[in-house]
Amino acid sequence: MAKGKTDWVEHARDVLRDSGHRAGGARGAVVELLSRQDCCLTAQQIHDRLRRRGRPIGIASVYRILDLLVAHGLVTRLDVGSGVAHYEPSQAGGEHHHHLVCEDCGKVEAFADEGLERAIRAVQARAGATAHDVVLRGACQTCRS
């Protein structure tokens, strides 16, 4: 696991512990799984991946854990326009990426563009905005091939 991802796991465990929650068991499994992702996942995807790895956890538990992580600012809940929420770790330094939603297969891919970020930061400063999300629609790398 990369250093930044390890730091996020440790930070998440500290926040959960300091707020009176255990970070082990199902919570720990969700935190670990999220830390290994390059982009957002739905609760169902998290549930399915945990079960494939031998972690019998109910979908309702996954939703409760995600709600807890969002409430503590550890995870960002994203609406990419599919009607299903996606989740990914919130980075303490504000590092983030944006998303491309494939109109053919529905896959969500991460992308970053520094020029876009500079333009958005300028608009945010003028508008007094504190955060932003960018969701593009088109074809994912697989569907473009």
- In the beta sheet, which residues pair with residue 98? 111
Q: What is the CATH number of domain 3-89?
A: 1.10.10.10
Q: What is the mean pLDDT of the chain?
A: 89
3-state secondary structure 106-121: CCEEEECCHHHHHHHH
For 68-105, the pLDDT digits (tens) are 999 999 999 988 877 889 999 987 777 788 899 999 99
> Mean of the pLDDT values across residues 36-49?
93
**Confidence category of residue 106, pLDDT binned at 50, 70, 90:** confident
User: Of 59, 87, 61, 63, which Cα lies nearest the Cα of 75?
Assistant: 87
**Confidence category of residue 5, pLDDT binned at 50, 70, 90:** low
pLDDT reported for residue 86? 92
Please state the pTM of the whole predicted model: 0.83
User: In this structure, what token pair is assigned to residue 94?
Assistant: 């504000």
CA distances from 74 to 26, 35, 61, 68 (A): 16, 11, 17, 9
- Tell me the domain boundaries of the chain: 3-89, 98-144
pLDDT reported for residue 54? 93
Q: What is the CATH number of domain 98-144?
A: 3.30.1490.190
